[in-house]
């Protein structure tokens, strides 16, 4: 842990030199999950030429290795640099909802850099943000990620413990951040619909929670301004009283996520085997 903290004090430009080395290894030498990436992009963008998809693949690997450098830097990055690198657009929406002492469900997907986004919200807007996360199996890296994610306050809840935690704290005003594009396990209840041209399973915990407990739902759109600089824009999705149509919130999330992917395809996590359990 001490070694990672020392590395995080290095300037980001120097960490990007290390990232460049890992990019060469991952992209050219070992082809880290390149088969999965190619297959995912072929299904997602059949209308694009192989050359166009290859450009996305190359940019994706750049973003992937850069995200490791940026995440380590987040361990010691100050508020001034966070504000410079992570632009938060339409923050009046979030501030207004928190001022009304509401519980808000914030939906997002796995766009780079998803680690910097919640840290920026806690550092620059409000510490009342709760992140639901998937526990890392390696104890050292689990401790490392919790150290980074818990800076500037806030609360972390492991996914398997979230349901009980939410019931206990359902009246505490806060923003609950969920990466709602994670792949459900085979035994999990899910909703199947088309996402990026393939039948895909989705968790519907966010929709069920919002409708049952009358929660407002927002979505964060992600764009990369330049290397190491990101813009997150908040969009209103729904508020109570919610409609009674099944899957309406999930469908809206899918629509917004697809739109974001098509605008910034290289920012999405294509190396994840998202469609492994798809029908």
- What was the pLDDT predicted at 94? 87
Strand partners of residue 179: 108
- What was the pLDDT predicted at 273? 87
What does residue 190 show for φ and ψ, rounded to 5 degrees? Answer: -155, 165
**CA angle at 157 for the pair 87 and 83, rounded to the nearest 5°:** 15
Measured CA to CA, the distance from residue 184 to residue 208 in angstroms comes to 15
Nearest Cα neighbor of 176 from 220, 141, 146, 144 is 220
Two structure tokens written together for 72: 């380590």
Nearest Cα neighbor of 36 from 22, 26, 48, 51 is 26
- What was the pLDDT predicted at 242? 92
Nearest Cα neighbor of 218 from 119, 90, 105 is 105
| Model confidence pTM above 0.75 | yes
Measured CA to CA, the distance from residue 66 to residue 112 in angstroms comes to 9
- What was the pLDDT predicted at 185? 74
The residues of the chain scoring below 50 in pLDDT are: none
- What was the pLDDT predicted at 259? 98
Strand partners of residue 177: 106, 131
- What was the pLDDT predicted at 232? 96
For β-strands 86-89 and 216-226, DSSP reports them as: unpaired
Measured CA to CA, the distance from residue 237 to residue 196 in angstroms comes to 20
Q: Which residue, chain included where needed, has tokens 């098509």?
A: 262
What does residue 94 show for φ and ψ, rounded to 5 degrees? Answer: -70, -45
Neighbours of 100 (CB within 10 A): 10
- What was the pLDDT predicted at 228? 95
- What was the pLDDT predicted at 278? 61
Two structure tokens written together for 244: 């009674």
pLDDT in tens, 59-101: 999 999 999 999 999 999 999 999 999 999 998 898 899 889 9
Asked if residue 158 lies in contact with residue 135, where contact means CB atoms within 8 angstroms, the answer is: yes
- What was the pLDDT predicted at 125? 87
- What was the pLDDT predicted at 188? 66
């Amino acid at each position: 842990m001490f070694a990672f903290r020392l590395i995080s004090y290095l300037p980001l430009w120097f960490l990007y030199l290390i990232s460049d080395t890992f990019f060469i290894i991952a992209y050219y030498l070992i082809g880290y999950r390149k088969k999965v990436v190619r297959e995912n992009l072929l299904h997602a963008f059949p209308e694009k030429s192989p050359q166009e998809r290859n450009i996305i693949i190359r940019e994706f690997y750049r973003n992937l290795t850069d995200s490791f450098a940026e995440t380590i830097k987040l361990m010691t990055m100050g508020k001034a640099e966070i504000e410079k690198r992570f632009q938060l657009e339409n923050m009046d929406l979030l501030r207004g909802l928190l001022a009304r002492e509401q519980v808000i469900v914030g939906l997002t997907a796995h766009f780079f850099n998803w680690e910097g986004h919640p840290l920026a919200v806690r550092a620059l807007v409000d510490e009342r943000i709760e992140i639901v996360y998937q526990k890392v199996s390696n104890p050292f890296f689990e401790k490392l990620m919790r150290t980074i994610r818990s800076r500037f306050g806030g609360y972390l809840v492991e996914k398997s413990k979230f349901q009980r935690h939410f019931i206990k704290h359902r009246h505490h005003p806060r923003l609950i951040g969920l990466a709602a594009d994670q792949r459900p396990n085979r035994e999990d209840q899910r909703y199947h619909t088309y996402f990026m041209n393939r039948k895909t399973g989705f968790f519907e915990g966010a929709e069920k929670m919002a409708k049952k407990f009358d929660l407002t739902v927002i979505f964060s759109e992600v764009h990369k301004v330049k290397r190491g600089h990101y813009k997150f824009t908040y969009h209103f999705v729904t508020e109570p009283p919610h409609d009674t149509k099944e899957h309406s919130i999930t469908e809206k999330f899918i629509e917004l996520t697809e739109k974001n992917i098509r605008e910034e395809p290289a920012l999405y996590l294509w190396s994840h085997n998202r469609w492994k359990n798809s029908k």
